[in-house]
């Protein structure tokens, strides 16, 4: 069932980092009102859709989004108001045509994605479905994803000296999403105790994980193993596994990687990962190498692709064309999926489809700057992609997504866990 756009409105609100972002409301004449909050990244890929920021130094250090809001309230509203659309992909196509650029920079990717997400909700409501149900059948059968809890933050997400950006807990062996979330919360609490017991800071980074004064990735992984055991869980792929996102584009300069004071070649980085994977149950590695290091990625994939899910984030930017190229070069084995990185829900679904058809995984993700919008939980469930990350099991904007998983699980009889590969 289609929608007729009656009203469209955007306003400038705050995200979880005290930076401005957009809240978009779409009213359809079928009696439906839908909203969306737009997320924003900090360690962004260079080929991401371009968000529009005012650049006025007298407001929010130039980060204001009044012009993006004005694009929704002016040009986009004028173009869509009174128009009927049969499908979300029709509406998204109208947005792309109106913007006219490859990277959404004219209207602003933040304006475009806010409208697209609100529209996705409106289409679901008009059809009498919840959001996750509206995605059902597009890819795999719906299932509850394994939440990946980012409990230690470094890189550009924290003021500590830890170079790797994210250290995650992945309760692969949990019996349900609710039990996985319980495990994440209990291990988070155990980790806090461990850190404080060692005189380390339990202060938080941008995604709600701890940001201790540790520089060595292996030391963090050792602590996580202890915290898992302390909380009464089994570390490993049948219990609680580990995952990492070094966000290594941020560490790459002049052909080498800066890690804990050392300068490593691509080969040395790959060796480091091989050793880590032998010592610790790391089942997923995201952005292990930089977005420009495609040759390195080919080697990394040949070396570890069978045993570890290798996720491309900065290197792919949720872009179906880039992912297709990666598939043909045997680069990575999965793609991160961030709707705002490509700019419309339809294109994010296209990226997921390209992955699905090639046997590549799809790892649905929040951004480091978030609102309480829980869209990604429904996207992960409805597409049956099997795993999702939304930061720590703490702080309202992170927990909103995990709590939405609990709510979906409570109301529907769906399987939990990674899909069978």
Binding site for Zn ion (CB under 5 A): 245, 286-287, 313
- Between CA 59 and CA 166 the distance in angstroms is 31
Binding to ligand PGA (CB under 6 A): which residues in 61-120? none
Q: Reduced to 3 DSSP states, what percent helix, strand and coil does the chain have, rounded to the nearest 5? A: 40, 20, 40
Minimum CB separation of residue 283 from Zn ion in Å reads: 16
Q: Which partner from the list Zn ion, ligand PGA, none does 134 bind, CB cut-off 5 to 8 Å by kind? A: none
By beta-carbon proximity to ligand PGA, the closer residue of 134 and 368 is 368
Residue 231 CB neighbour total at 10 angstroms: 20
Q: Which partner from the list ligand PGA, Zn ion, none does 41 bind, CB cut-off 5 to 8 Å by kind? A: ligand PGA
Reduced to 3 states, what is the DSSP secondary structure of residue 418? coil
Look-up of token digits 């500590």: 160
Q: Which partner from the list ligand PGA, Zn ion, none does 148 bind, CB cut-off 5 to 8 Å by kind? A: none
By beta-carbon proximity to Zn ion, the closer residue of 12 and 286 is 286
Q: Which partner from the list ligand PGA, Zn ion, none does 125 bind, CB cut-off 5 to 8 Å by kind? A: none
Residue 53 CB neighbour total at 10 angstroms: 20
Q: 104, 291, 338, 401: which is the annotated catalytic residue?
A: 338
The footprint of ligand PGA on this chain (CB under 6 A) covers a number of residues equal to 10
Binding mask 19-48 for ligand PGA (x = CB under 6 A): ----------------------xxxx----
By beta-carbon proximity to ligand PGA, the closer residue of 231 and 243 is 243
Minimum CB separation of residue 26 from Zn ion in Å reads: 29
- Between CA 421 and CA 386 the distance in angstroms is 10
By beta-carbon proximity to ligand PGA, the closer residue of 134 and 366 is 366
Give the CA distances from residue 11 to residues 108, 143, 163, in Å, rounded to whole numbers and listed in that order: 14, 34, 35
Q: Which partner from the list ligand PGA, Zn ion, none does 350 bind, CB cut-off 5 to 8 Å by kind? A: none
Minimum CB separation of residue 405 from ligand PGA in Å reads: 19
Reduced to 3 states, what is the DSSP secondary structure of residue 364? strand
Please give the residue whose beta carbon sits closest to Zn ion in the complex: 313
Reduced to 3 states, what is the DSSP secondary structure of residue 414? coil
- Between CA 300 and CA 332 the distance in angstroms is 8
By beta-carbon proximity to Zn ion, the closer residue of 134 and 160 is 160
How, if at all, do strands 387-389 and 361-365 pair? parallel
Please give the residue whose beta carbon sits closest to ligand PGA in the complex: 41
- Between CA 421 and CA 411 the distance in angstroms is 27
Of 333, 337, 315, which is closest to residue 390 (Cα–Cα)? 337
Residue 220: both structure tokens together: 């963090």
Residue 304 C-beta-side C-alpha neighbours within 13 Å: 27
Q: 207, 347, 370, 409: which is the annotated catalytic residue?
A: 207
Minimum CB separation of residue 286 from Zn ion in Å reads: 5
By beta-carbon proximity to ligand PGA, the closer residue of 43 and 266 is 43
By beta-carbon proximity to Zn ion, the closer residue of 12 and 287 is 287
411 neighbors 400 (Cβ within 8 angstroms): no
Q: Residue 317 class from Cβ within 10 Å (0-12 exposed, 13-18 middle, 19+ buried)?
A: buried
Q: Which partner from the list Zn ion, ligand PGA, none does 42 bind, CB cut-off 5 to 8 Å by kind? A: ligand PGA
Binding mask 234-263 for ligand PGA (x = CB under 6 A): -----------x-x----------------
Minimum CB separation of residue 207 from ligand PGA in Å reads: 8
Residue ranges in 243-374 assigned as alpha helix (H): 266-279, 294-304, 320-328, 339-342, 345-358
Residue 414 CB neighbour total at 10 angstroms: 17
**Residue 338 designated active-site:** yes
Beta bridge partners of 329: none
Binding to ligand PGA (CB under 6 A): which residues in 340-399? 365, 367-368
Minimum CB separation of residue 365 from ligand PGA in Å reads: 6
Minimum CB separation of residue 304 from Zn ion in Å reads: 17
Binding site for ligand PGA (CB under 6 A): 41-44, 245, 247, 313, 365, 367-368
Residue positions annotated with a catalytic role = 207, 338
């Amino acid at each position: 069932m289609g929608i007729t756009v009656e009203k469209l409105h955007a306003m400038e609100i705050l995200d979880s980092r005290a930076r401005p972002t957009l809240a978009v409301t779409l009213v359809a004449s079928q009696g439906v009102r839908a909203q969306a909050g737009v997320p924003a990244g900090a360690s962004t890929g260079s080929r991401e859709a371009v968000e529009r920021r005012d650049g006025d130094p007298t407001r929010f250090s130039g980060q204001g989004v009044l012009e993006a809001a004005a694009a929704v309230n002016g040009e986009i509203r004028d173009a869509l108001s009174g128009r009927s659309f049969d499908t979300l992909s029709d509406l998204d196509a109208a947005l792309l045509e109106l913007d006219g650029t490859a990277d959404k920079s004219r209207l602003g990717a933040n304006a475009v994605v806010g409208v697209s997400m609100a529209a996705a909700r409106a289409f679901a409501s008009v059809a009498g479905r919840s959001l996750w149900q509206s995605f059902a059948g597009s890819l795999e059968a719906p299932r509850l994803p394994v939440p990946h809890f980012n409990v230690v933050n470094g890189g550009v997400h924290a003021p500590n000296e830890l170079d790797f950006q994210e250290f995650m807990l992945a309760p692969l062996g949990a019996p349900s999403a609710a039990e996985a979330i319980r495990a994440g919360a209990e291990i988070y609490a155990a980790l806090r105790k461990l850190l404080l017991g060692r005189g380390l800071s339990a202060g938080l980074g941008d995604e709600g994980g701890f940001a201790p004064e540790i520089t060595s990735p292996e030391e963090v992984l050792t602590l996580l193993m202890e915290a898992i055991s302390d909380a009464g869980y089994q570390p490993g792929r049948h219990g609680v596994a580990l995952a990492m996102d070094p966000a290594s584009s941020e560490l790459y300069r002049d052909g080498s990687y800066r890690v804990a004071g050392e300068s490593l070649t691509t080969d040395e980085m790959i060796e480091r990962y091989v050793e880590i994977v032998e010592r610790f149950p790391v089942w997923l590695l995201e952005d292990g190498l930089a977005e420009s290091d495609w040759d390195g990625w080919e080697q990394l994939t040949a070396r570890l692709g069978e045993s570890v899910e290798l996720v491309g984030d900065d290197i792919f930017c949720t872009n179906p064309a880039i992912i297709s190229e990666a598939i043909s070069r045997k680069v990575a084995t999965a793609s991160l999926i961030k709707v705002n990185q490509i700019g419309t829900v339809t294109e994010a679904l296209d990226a997921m489809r390209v992955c699905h058809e090639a046997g590549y995984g799809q790892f649905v993700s929040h951004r480091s700057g978030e609102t309480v919008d829980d869209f990604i939980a429904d996207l992960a469930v409805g597409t049956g992609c099997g795993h999702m990350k939304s930061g720590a099991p703490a702080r309202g904007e992170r927990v909103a997504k995990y709590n939405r998983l609990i709510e979906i699980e409570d109301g529907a009889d769906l399987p939990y866990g990674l899909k069978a590969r």
